[in-house]
Chain A
Amino acid sequence: METTIAGQTIDLNNEGYLTDIKQWTKEVAMHIAQEEGITLTDGHWPVIEYLQEQYRNEVPLSIRKVGKSGVVDIKQFYALFPGGPLKKASRIAGIPKPASCI
């Protein structure tokens, strides 16, 4: 599925996740965040960058890992991305939907 965000053509899968992280920009993130009902603040960006870094290093993500990252604790993570933090934050970060159960 192709869509245009901030003048760029973006490929999304049927769940709305970017299929190519190279197409990700901050504008894309802000647009997807808005769809999720989230306004990105200074508190969100370090979390997004952390998730992208983990993805590039092929580390499978979990709530537990995010909580231990030193970037954000679990309570803050839920507060920043309410209603499914790992899924929403991953979508905003332009990485695939995490398959973790934890």
Chain B
Amino acid sequence: MSHSPKKITAQDIELPQNSLWRKLPLIGVALAVIGLGASAGIAWKGGKLHPQFYFSYLVAYAYWLSLALGGLFFVIVQFAARAGWSVVVRRIAEHAMLALPAFAVLFIPIALGLHDLYHWSHAEAVAKDLVLQDKAAYLNTTGFYTRAGAYFILWFVLAWYFWKKSTAQDESKEAAATKRMQIVAGPSIVIFALTLTFAAFDWIMSLDPHWYSTIFGPYYFAGTTLAIFSFISLMGVLLQRSGVLKDVITSEHYHDLGKLIFAFTVFWAYIAFSQYMLIWYGNIPEETVWFKHRGGAWLGMSIFQGVGHFAVPFFFMINRTIKRFKPTLIIGALMVLTVHYFDMYWLIMPTYHHHGPHFTIVDLTTFVGVGGVFLAVFGYGLARHKLIPAGDPRLKESLAFKNI
């Protein structure tokens, strides 16, 4: 009310010429080459890649893809809800979703490793298995590739549309672009929800082809939202550390991001427990087998999901001061981003390592490699455009935003 909107200068919303952020694309490419090169080098045995490579790669892929998908989700939801508060942090999510097309290329190793990853892709295994024969109408190689192609085309169209329109608005300043994106955002949510759900079914759930869980899509979705809220908080603080966005992103915006991390921690736990309790109650062998694979030597990591992914972040992020104070918010965000990796690991790895978690160097190198690609694209966007959507008609509202 009595707050006059802050004056933004070019130094506030553009990276300095000598900033290390401008080298992020280069650093990302270097990490990608080193990471993926080392992974392939280590896993190359007897003229082919060891299956460990494909599983490690899938974990890394699922992790970084969740950030890109989370970015897309964040952007379309802000437009669908016509949100004003989030304008100053939206650009970070926009550059994250820009990485989605790159994941089409990154999908190649998964497509190549199809037979190492997915039991249902073996014709002789299906011939001996009545359940897989019943599922063959959906779980077959042609369908798998076709669907993957469809996801990537739709993700590319959505990410490109919103990214292009939003960055073009920086100069054009036309309010009509915002109106247009608000209209497109509605149907985009439907497309996003369906593609994410089926991608999670195809790429992660079908690792255990007898097992199914209708809530699996939301489970992966909960992870993507947590990842992007944490990523935005982290990037916001890091960018401010290097001298930009001062007084643009305030503790009010961090408070809201913290509230979202807190809320979606509960959402994740709600989904994860719902999945577990129904299967536990029903006690049907083809459903319980999935959790049986996550007992035994995996039990420690299963319990860690409940403690690290829910209890600790929940009681940590519940406090108002912690959400508003940058260092503590960052501790929470890093905690979530770390535990999210173990969540992906826990979903995927038991299919390969039945006898307990077994970390290898390839887990690390694939993580660095895929992450390098993601960061390269993210940095590419960051270096080329203003750090906030400077032409958004709601920018003033966002700058003056206050929690009640």
| Chains A and B belong together in one complex | no
The residues of A with any CB-CB pair to B shorter than 8 Å are none
The residues of B with any CB-CB pair to A shorter than 8 Å are none
